Amino acid sequence: MSGRGEQPVGIDELLERVRATYVRVTPREAYDAAQAGEALLVDIRYAALRERDGLVPGALVIERNELEWRLDPRGSHRVPEAGSHDLRVVVFCNEGYASSLAAESLHRLGLHRATDLTGGFQAWRTAGLPVTGVRR
């Protein structure tokens, strides 16, 4: 987003700029799209958070540092689900911040339907949507 000669921006402004380029989805919208087979949910949280809080059933787990390699339809390290630039991907992190930057990065790879989950996993859980493997 920032080229040479441009003024640096803070993270809040960067998030605002990134989020203005696509429509984010609510937990219910993401759930409904995944259930209808219209979206691939991708969990980019790190292992400790997944172990502590559980998993979204059916979500593909790809940690953030591997995301672009795994979802690039032209990449040699892509997951089988990443067969097209038209794939609708809904990325989520813990609270919906890192996922916004991840979605923007996927846009740069040509995944024009990539988006992220407003509020992240925590909003998903608060909405009462399915979670598995929760530690008690």
pLDDT single digits (tens) 61-117: 999 999 999 999 999 999 999 999 999 999 999 999 999 999 999 999 999 999 999
Mean pLDDT for 37-60 is 97
**Residue 62 bridge partners (DSSP):** none
Taking each helix axis from N to C end, the angle separating 11-19 and 98-108, rounded to the nearest 10 degrees, works out to 50
- Residues 10-16: what's their mean pLDDT? 95
- With CA atoms as reference, report the closest residue to 88 among 130, 136, 34, 45: 34
**Whether the predicted pLDDT of 19 surpasses 80:** yes
pTM reported for the whole predicted model = 0.92
For the stretch 24-34, pLDDT in tens is 999 999 999 99
Q: Do 98 and 64 meet the contact criterion of CB atoms below 8 Å apart?
A: yes
* Domains, the chain: 30-126 (3.40.250.10)
* Average pLDDT of every residue of the chain: 94
Q: What are phi and psi of 98, to 5 degrees?
A: -60, -30
3-state per-residue secondary structure call for the chain = CCCCCCCCCCHHHHHHHHHCCCCCECHHHHHHHHHCCCCEEEECCCHHHHHHHCECCCCEECCHHHHHHHHCCCCCCCCCCCCCCCCCEEEECCCCCHHHHHHHHHHHCCCCCCEEECCHHHHHHHCCCCCECCCC
